[in-house]
Structure 1
C-alpha cells in the first residue's frame, strides 16, 4: 500500500503552495547573500535561465562558516566580497538536484538518499515573465512530512523503536564539549550534509558522555532536555528521545520542531543522569521508510 501511495503522487503534490525560491547568480558576493538571506531560510546559486542547473543552496550558516574559515576570519571584510562561486568551492556542499514536477515521489526519495542536499522543482503553472523560469525547493523535511501524513501505510515499521530499527547513530562526530572554543565546532558543522546547525554541546565528566544541550540551548526551568525546539531557532533546547521511542514518535518530534536531528538519551548512574547515546536524523528515517517498501505486506 505504501508503494501505491508513492506511485499515485507526483512530486508536484509535495510542492503545492510553495513559494518560488530566492536566488542569486554565482558572481554575487557573500555580502549580497547575507543581505538576501534576511527573512529567507536559504537562497539558490543560479543564473535564472530556463533549464539551467542550480549550482548550490546557501543558508546563513554557510555564510558564517565561510567567514570563520582560515584566512577569512582574519579579514572578514575581504571575505564578504568573495563570490558565491568561491563560497561553494570552499564548502564543497552536497549537490542540489533538479527534478521534474511529474516525477514520482519515489524518484525524489531516491535522489535524497543518493546524496542530494535538496531538490529544485520547476513551477510551471505560476504566472511569470516571458523567458523567466521559477523553481521551488523540495527538502528532506518536505518528503518526511508527506510520509508522516500517511504513516498508517508504513505499519508495523513505524511503530517499532528507533533502536530496534538500527537508526540510532553514534553522536561522537556531532558533539563538542561545553568548554571548547566555538571555532573547534567548525569542522564538525561543515561536515553535516543536512543541517549545519546539528551539534550537541556536552559536559565532560569521567567518561565524557554527559550531554547538556544543543548549540543554541539554554538551561530552562524544565532542565537541559525538554521538548522545545532546536536547530536554527535561537536559545532553544535540545529535542530528545529514548532508545525505545517509536519511529513515528521521532518523526512527529522532528516535524513539530522543525529539527533535522533528534538526540537519543538514556539515564545512567545512581543519580539517573541523562547521557547522550546517539542521534537519529531525518535521512535515517527516510532510509527506513524506503526499505519498508521492499518488505512483504503483513499477513
Structure 2
C-alpha cells in the first residue's frame, strides 16, 4: 500500500484542473465580490502577493470566498456603513493562516499531500504550466494586477481534500476490506460539532459559521431535544451574495436556513428582513439590501409554500421545515447530506463525492444527531492503515 501512495505524484491529480483565478492582496472587498461572481463555478478565489519585477516571486497567501465577505459585513461597524466596508482591503477579510494554503511541486507524492492535509492544509497549490516571462508585458501585468492568472509566467491549480478522496475512491479495490467497514467501527465519527438551536438568532452563529469555513464543515441546526433539523452551510452561503449579511442580522437560525436554501429568498422573508432592518435603524444597510434584491429580479416569483418548494419537507412533529438544500455553485437544491453510524466507509465516500461536500452528518433513525464524519477523518484512516502495514 505504501508503494501506491508513494508512486503517485500530484501531477496525476492535476490532470484537467483549470488554472487558478487569482486576486491580488491589494484588492478591495468590492473587487473581491466582483471576481467571486465571475469565478465560473469556483466558490473560492486564491489570494496572491506578487512581485512582477524581473527576479520577483509570486506567493499564494490564502483564499477568499463569499462567506468571508458576509462574516466581515456582519461586524457591527460594517452593518452601520456597508459602503465603507466594501472599500476596505481584503486583508481585513480573509485569514492569512500559516499552513492553510501550501505550495507543492508536481513531483510531490500523494503521501506528502495527505500528510499536509492532516496537518491542517486545505489547498495545495501546484504549478501546472510555465510560459516565457515575456509573454505578458509589465504594463499588462500591472493592468491586470487584481485578477491575473499567470504569475511571472507560471500557472497554478490547487488540490483539495475532495480531489484526494476522489482519487482514492478510483483505486478503492487496493485497500482490501477497509472500504466495507462501518464508520462507527472505524471510530471516525466526531461528536465535536458546531450547532445552534433552531429558534436562536442567526447572528449568534456568525462565529460558528466562520469556524466551520476554516474546518470545512458546517453548522448544525437542532431543536431542544437534539433533533437534527438542517444546517447553515458555508458552502451554501458561498453561493449567495453579500445581502445575506442583512438576513443574518435580522432572522433566526431557522429563518436563515430557509432564506439561503430556496435558490433565492422567499418573498415573505425578504419583507421580514427589510422591516427588521428598519426597526434596528440600519437605514444604510436597508438601502443596500433593497438595491441588491431589486437587481436580482422579481422576488414575487419565489414562494415559501411547500407546494412550490418541493425540496422542503416537515419533520414528524410538523414544527420545522427540514433543510432540503445543499447548494454547490451549479446545484441550487439538494439536501443536508446525512448518513447512519452503520454506513460503510465506501458508501460515505461516494455519498460525499456525489454531493460535493467534505463531510456528512451522522444521525440515528429518529434524526437525533450523533456527530459528523469528515474527509480529514477518512484520510486519517487510510494513513493509519498504511502505518499498520
> Scaled by the length of structure 1, what TM-score is found?
0.86
Which residue of 100, 105, 113 corresponds with 1:100? 105
Q: 1:234 to 1:26 in 2, by over 3 A?
A: same
Which residue of structure 1 aligns with residue 373 of structure 2?
280
Q: Which moved more, 1:16-25 or 1:74-83?
A: 74-83
- CA displacement at 1:13 relative to structure 2: 0.6
Which residue of 181, 184, 203 corresponds with 2:223? 203
Which residue of structure 1 aligns with residue 350 of structure 2?
252
Q: Is the 8 A contact 1:230 1:237 kept in 2?
A: yes
Structure with larger Rg: 2
Residue 72, structure 1, aligned to residue 78, structure 2: yes
Which residue of structure 2 aligns with residue 57 of structure 1?
63
- CA displacement at 1:11 relative to structure 2: 0.3
Q: Is the 8 A contact 2:196 2:222 kept in 1?
A: yes
Q: Is the 8 A contact 2:313 2:324 kept in 1?
A: no
- CA displacement at 1:127 relative to structure 2: 8.3
Which residue of structure 1 aligns with residue 277 of structure 2?
none
Write the distance in 1 (CA, Å) between the matches of 2:172 and 2:36.
Answer: 34
Classify the secondary structure of the residue corresponding to 1:124.
Answer: strand
Q: Is the 8 A contact 2:324 2:333 kept in 1?
A: no
Ranked by relative contact order (alpha carbons within 8 Å, sequence separation 6 or more), the top structure is 2
Which residue of structure 2 aligns with residue 144 of structure 1?
165
Write the distance in 1 (CA, Å) between the matches of 2:97 and 2:112.
Answer: 24
Which residue of 241, 244, 249 corresponds with 2:339? 241
Structure 2: runs of 5 or more not aligned:
137-151, 233-256, 263-309, 316-320
| Equivalences, count | 284
> Scaled by the length of structure 2, what TM-score is found?
0.67
Q: 1:94 to 1:212 in 2, by over 3 A?
A: farther
Write the distance in 1 (CA, Å) between the matches of 2:80 and 2:322.
Answer: 38
Residue 186, structure 1, aligned to residue 206, structure 2: yes
Write the distance in 2 (CA, Å) between the matches of 1:203 and 1:248.
Answer: 30
Structure 1: runs of 5 or more not aligned:
268-272
- CA displacement at 1:229 relative to structure 2: 6.3
After TM superposition, the structure 1 = structure 2 runs for residues 212-227 of structure 1, keeping only pairs within 5 Å, are 212-215=229-232, 216=257, 220=311
Write the distance in 1 (CA, Å) between the matches of 2:93 and 2:388.
Answer: 43
Which residue of structure 1 aligns with residue 387 of structure 2?
294
Which residue of structure 2 aligns with residue 43 of structure 1?
45
CA offset digits 1:148-196 (Å, max 9, x no partner): 111111222221111111111115x422111122211111111122426
Write the distance in 1 (CA, Å) between the matches of 2:99 and 2:86.
Answer: 22
Write the distance in 2 (CA, Å) between the matches of 1:100 and 1:138.
Answer: 12
Q: Is the 8 A contact 1:10 1:102 kept in 2?
A: yes
Q: 1:263 to 1:66 in 2, by over 3 A?
A: same
- CA displacement at 1:42 relative to structure 2: 1.2
CA offset digits 1:261-286 (Å, max 9, x no partner): 1000003xxxxx32111110111111
After TM superposition, the structure 1 = structure 2 runs for residues 22-37 of structure 1, keeping only pairs within 5 Å, are 22-37=21-36
Write the distance in 2 (CA, Å) between the matches of 1:86 and 1:25.
Answer: 13
- CA displacement at 1:36 relative to structure 2: 0.3
Write the distance in 2 (CA, Å) between the matches of 1:292 and 1:231.
Answer: 33
Write the distance in 2 (CA, Å) between the matches of 1:149 and 1:182.
Answer: 40
Q: Is the 8 A contact 1:3 1:293 kept in 2?
A: yes
Which residue of structure 2 aligns with residue 116 of structure 1?
121
- CA displacement at 1:242 relative to structure 2: 0.5
- CA displacement at 1:122 relative to structure 2: 0.8
Q: Is the 8 A contact 1:18 1:136 kept in 2?
A: yes
Write the distance in 2 (CA, Å) between the matches of 1:127 and 1:256.
Answer: 39
Q: Is the 8 A contact 2:311 2:334 kept in 1?
A: no
Q: Is the 8 A contact 1:167 1:285 kept in 2?
A: yes
